[in-house]
Structure 1
Amino acid sequence: MLIVNSYAVGFARPDRWSRGRPAEAVHPWHAVEAHRPPAELDGEVELAVCGAIVQVWGSQKWERVGVGRTACPECARISAVNRSLSSAR
């Protein structure tokens, strides 16, 4: 079993959507397994963990984007990105 510790951020461009499974406009950001430094992936077209075809956006960090409202919920679930718990104080 391969465990991936690093994810790059991919953006679903309208001309790069997967056939039969188009990215929703409200969730354009996706997680991409980074088997090499994310900076080396910048600008590359890759397959996101959810199966969408995306273009890697090297200036973004998945740990930050993945908890936002515009991140793909399936990518967040698969990559186990969770919102931080807030203080009860």
Structure 2
Amino acid sequence: MARELRIPRALTALPAPVRWLAAPVALTCTVVVLIGSWSSADDPAVEVPRPSGKAADHCRALGAALPQELLGRARRDPSPASPYVAAWG
């Protein structure tokens, strides 16, 4: 026995094009809001980490081993320069 889909009365009062476009418009607005909320700053502020002891040695070695290019983006270390921070893009 198939159940009949009931559409709320408020939606049936709207013209068909409005009902058909409601979901795509809502999805488009959501995508626009999400993209607009992403930061597009060219040089974001980065707090310089200050490890000590063996952790500093390991971090320094890791920083030196990181690639100069990542996913087609050149390495561009942020300012202030630190052997513990790397950035690409």
TM range (shorter): under 0.3
More strand by share: 1
| Structure showing greater Rg | 2
Q: Which has the higher contact order (CA 8 A, sep 6+)?
A: 1
State the TM-score, normalized to the length of structure 1: 0.20
Which one has a larger percent helix, Structure 1 or Structure 2?
Answer: 2
